[in-house]
Every structure is written in C-alpha cells, then in structure tokens.
Amino acid sequence: MTTTTAKISVQGVTKTFDLGRETFTALDNVSLDIADHEFVTVVGPSGCGKSTLMNILAGLETPTSGRALVDGAPVSGPGPERGVIFQQYALFPWLTVRQNVEFGLRTTGVPKRERRSKAEYFIELVGLERFADALPKTLSGGMRQRCAIARAYAVDPSILLMDEPFGALDALTRVKLQEQLLHTWSRDKRTVLFITHDVDEAVFLANRVIVMAARPGRVYDVIDVDPATERNEDFRLSAQFADLRNRVWHSVYHQEGRTAVASVSPSASS
C-alpha cells in the first residue's frame, strides 16, 4: 500500500502475441483501477483480451508493456492473495472435493487440523458437504464449479479472478450460481474481477461493468451499477436492470458493427 489506493491497478498495459509473420495485439494500452471489495465484471466479444487481462493479473502472463499492480506492488507470478477460477473448473480429477479444496492450503503450509476445518467450512459454504469425499467425475458442472470456488476461497485470497466461470453451465444453473456467488461474496467480501461474455450476468453481478472491444483489445466503455442495489430476482426483472442491460448490450453490440473504425474509440479509464 503505497502511492495508489486502488486494490488492483492496471496501467497502460499492452500485450502482443507473436504469431510468426504478424503480431496480435490482445491488449492495447489498457488502464483501469479497481477498489477494494469492488465487484467488477468485464464483458466483451471474443478476442477482446479479457482473458489475457485476467491472466496478467493472475501472474500467468506478463504484459508486453505497462504494468499491473496489486496492492501497489507489481504482479510477478501467481500468489495466494489472488484466487483464480477457471472456466474449465480445473479441479484435480484424482483428488476428492475435500482434497481439492485442501490443495492450496497444503501448498501454503497450513497445518493438517486447520486445513480440515477450513476445507469443511468452505465446502459447506458452497453446499457440497454431502459430496466432500466424491471425485470430480461424479459431480455435475455446477457442482464442480462450486468446488472450484470453495478451493479458491479456502486459501483466503483478497482478490478473486474469475474467467467465465459459469460459461459452460446451463442457464438455470448459471443463475443459481450467480446468486450463490453474490451471497458468498456479501458474507465474505473480496475484490472480484469477473470475466464473462454474458451481458445479463455482467449487469447482475457488478458494481461496475467494463465493456471491452476487440482488435485491438481495449476498454471501450464503463457502466456503473449502484452498489446499494439488492441483487435478487426483483432486480433481474426491474426496469433498472433492463436499462443497464440495454446500455451494456448497446455498448457491446455497437462496437462489433464498427470494428473498422475502432481507432475512434476512447481508451476509457476510470
């Protein structure tokens, strides 16, 4: 905690990939700040670099230029203060739910008894207590993702980076998990960066929706959602939701039609 008050600060990050003859610009001069305990969703078409952004923050990739700061310190490699949840769940298939949740606790050297009770707590939090000793192959997609969420929560990260975590789930399961995630989050606040391609999901979850554009990947628009809003079914069906949803949708959709003149878009930063 030094010069910046932002929990996460992305400053002029550019990431290019060398594809042999040409280079692909996944992120072009992206800047954004995320405050502590903020729930930010990132939505955008495929190729807008939203996963790249997440990987940079997770420490799995390094920016070509610019820098990513967490708590004021540049990101260098993964760290236990940043939990990551992957779209493909990434559970270790040879470990039970409990062992998966304990994995991060073991690597960070938490003693066995404490590991047990912590794992127990988070498995209960996501409602998998009946499946604690089941292997992932016996779980449904939604249950797997809940297990992954418990695993990420267990190492007590102050930041959760979620890369389209519900992207592979059916609509109903997805809505349920969204509500459950918000419930978990409201009881146990973390800073969340949630990546999605689903506009409804982006609006429903967020304090702030960041819309990204592709080719090159950049921040296109930022839409705030009143954090005081109660996130429930009423909200989902409200005029406020519809309005926000339309704005985000417009922002995502409109850029698609204008990719040829992408250069006019502002490189918005908050």
168 binds other proteins (CB under 8 A): yes
Token pair belonging to 21:
């003859």
Coil/strand/helix, residue 62: coil
Tokens read off for 96: 């039970």
Contacts of 18 (CB under 8 A, 6+ apart): none
Figure out which of the listed residues 84, 123, 206, 244 binds other proteins, where binding follows CB under 8 A. 84
Q: Please tell me whether residue 17 binds other proteins under the rule CB under 8 A.
A: no
The reply on whether position 134 binds other proteins by CB under 8 A is no
Per CB under 8 A, the segment of 5-13, 52-60, 117-125, 187-195 that binds other proteins is: 52-60
Neighbouring-strand partners of residue 199: none
Question: Taking CB under 8 A as the rule, which mask of x and - marks residues 136-165 in contact with other proteins?
Answer: xx-------------x---x----------
Shortest Å, Cβ 119 to other proteins: 13
Residues 6+ apart with CB under 8 A from 116: 102
Q: How do 8-19 and 159-163 pair as beta strands?
A: unpaired
- Does 194 help bind other proteins (rule: CB under 8 A)? no
| Amino acid of residue 191 | T
Cα 187 to Cα 129, 132, 141, 162: the distances in Å are 19, 22, 24, 18
79 binds other proteins (CB under 8 A): yes
Give contact residues for other proteins (rule: CB under 8 A).
58-60, 77-80, 82-84, 86, 88, 90-95, 103-104, 107-108, 135-137, 151, 155, 168
